[in-house]
Amino acid sequence: MRTLAAVLFPDFEMLDLYGPLEMFSFFRDDFEIRTVALETGAVKASGGPSTMAQDTMEDGRQYDILLVPGGRGTRNVGGATTFLSWLKSQSEGAEYTTSVCTGSLLLAKAGILNGRRATTNKLAFDWVADQTSGVDWQRSARWVRDGSVYTSSGVSAGMDMALAVIEDWIGDKAAAESAP
């Protein structure tokens, strides 16, 4: 079983997180989904409802997959040293690091995307690309895989990206059976 860290921060986009998580949830024997944030407890999404963080970034736990959503909150945590350092160290030990929408900005600011191809939300593409250097941004891609890092452009693309990760680990039949 592999452990997936669903990364939370204030004002994350709910569908960026829950769309891909739904794909992984079809394989409960293969993936344990954990929510992680700077602190345990309720983390308010941009749409209003909160999600409970089970783990803190200080727990010392290593995850096999990171899933970083986007949303308005990326503007606030994009400069948070503790948050970005945790992403970087986790990514170095994870088998896969993934992002949806502007979550790729957080990966870029953490240095994870240096020298890699990546994508982000099309409406925020220029804003994200202008804040970063050293990333080969792919404007027209739905999702991009560069080594062990997957980035997607938005929520439906994030679900497709999740299916690609599932296919890599479990096989193409499993991904095809879970596709909505």
- Angle formed at CA 64 by CA 63 and CA 68, multiple of 5 degrees: 75
User: Which of 15, 65, 101, 149 is an active site residue?
Assistant: 101
Residue 19 and residue 98 in contact, taking contact as beta carbons nearer than 8 Å:
no
The residue among 24, 27, 47, 46 whose CA lies nearest residue 35 is 24
Ranges of H-type helices in the chain: 14-25, 74-77, 81-93, 103-109, 125-130, 155-170, 172-178
Cα(40)–Cα(57) distance, integer angstroms? 9
Residue indicated by tokens 């990546």: 118
Establish whether 101 is a catalytic residue: yes
Q: Could you list the active site residues?
A: 101
